[in-house]
Structure 1
């Protein structure tokens, strides 16, 4: 068997593997944070599309007229529905007219009045008697779900200084996510 010399190849520019490829802890944390932020972004996009497609919005409870079922400071998810779908015991939001805040109470009676309009009588769970007069509606916002105390948090972060801070932090996260990194 010949022991002929094997020509040496010059590979000075290539890194020499020294063992299993290990990533730093910081690199793993960065990847995890980016993955979490990407998932949060996807959830936000899906929620926005669903809100438009399903006619869903949020309302905040500023009074205790629906306590204890829905206490002051609750945030509720509501869906706009035609008046023909209203049922007794539904909690709905209706407009009270120009310049007045809407009211959200429990439906105690529903009466068709023609032309797609309905007269609904409503009462707050904490109130002793029904609202002063019935509401004439063609559509209402039905409460689907509520979370006590969440309205306070939403109200707080809706302040301009918090919105500015959220915008700056989100911008920095985008820059960080797309900043070139060294290959390991």
Structure 2
């Protein structure tokens, strides 16, 4: 009888440990899902709220200050206030709409509009084409390392698939109501060895 009681207690301990582990995993995966969702929402909403842009960094021309795989959050800037030493984001002249973030190393005010000579911090020479003031779209406000890489993965088919699996895992691991089998007493009469049953009466 004592062996049976010990076995039941051990079974309950294992079941409690498994339930606790599932709860911890559900919380961890839930936090990951919450962080991923908040990041994606923030990147999508930022341009609408601030008028700036959220841009993934694809090259190392501005390292180490702006690393590859990071994300640059820009804010609008008045081209007339741009000075030497300031970092700007602009549409590359002749680049079919390509956006570039480089540092201003020279300002030419002799034309109809200011023109800026730019250079990446990691580059040895300045950019070939001067940047007209009309091509300036903003200046960096924040730089978040690795966020651009994560955003690219999230928007890929594999990233979306992983997100769906993450949601399914959170739902599967989330604690719920115990089943009828779990609610029943697995020990049965074994947990009440001292119970005295009334004798049968024969009439």
Asked if Structure 1 and Structure 2 have the same fold, meaning a TM-score greater than 0.5 normalized by the shorter chain, the answer is yes
Give the corresponding residue for 1:9.
none
Q: Work out the CA distance in 2 between the residues paired with 1:100 and 1:46.
A: 24
What is the correspondence of 1:46-125 to structure 2 with a 5 Å cutoff? 51-96=47-92, 97-99=94-96, 101-112=98-109, 113-114=111-112, 117-125=113-121
Query: Structure 1 pair 68/169, CA: closer, same or farther in 2 (3 Å)?
Result: closer
Q: Work out the CA distance in 2 between the residues paired with 1:55 and 1:119.
A: 23
Q: What is the SS of the residue equivalent to 1:56?
A: coil
**Deviation of the 1:123 alpha carbon:** 0.7
Equivalent of 1:129 in 125, 129, 136: 125
**Deviation of the 1:134 alpha carbon:** 0.8
Aligned length: 157
- The C-alpha deviation readout for 1:84-131, integer Å capped at 9, x for no partner, is 2322222111112353622211011233433xx321110111111211
Query: Structure 1 pair 133/168, CA: closer, same or farther in 2 (3 Å)?
Result: same
Q: Work out the CA distance in 2 between the residues paired with 1:157 and 1:66.
A: 24
Query: Structure 1 pair 42/160, CA: closer, same or farther in 2 (3 Å)?
Result: closer
Q: Is this contact kept in 1: 2:73–2:141, CA < 8 A?
A: yes
Structure 2 gap segments, 5+ residues each: 1-19, 178-203
Equivalent of 2:143 in 138, 142, 146: 146
Structure 1 gap segments, 5+ residues each: 1-24
Q: Structure 2 length as normaliser, TM-score?
A: 0.55
What is the correspondence of 1:2-13 to structure 2 with a 5 Å cutoff? none
**Deviation of the 1:46 alpha carbon:** 7.7
Give the corresponding residue for 1:155.
152
Which structure has more strand as a fraction of its residues? 1
Bigger Cα Rg: 2
Which structure has more helix as a fraction of its residues? 2
Q: Is this contact kept in 1: 2:74–2:141, CA < 8 A?
A: yes
- The C-alpha deviation readout for 1:16-40, integer Å capped at 9, x for no partner, is xxxxxxxxx9xxx9xx99xx89x97
Query: Structure 1 pair 51/167, CA: closer, same or farther in 2 (3 Å)?
Result: farther
RMSD: 3.9
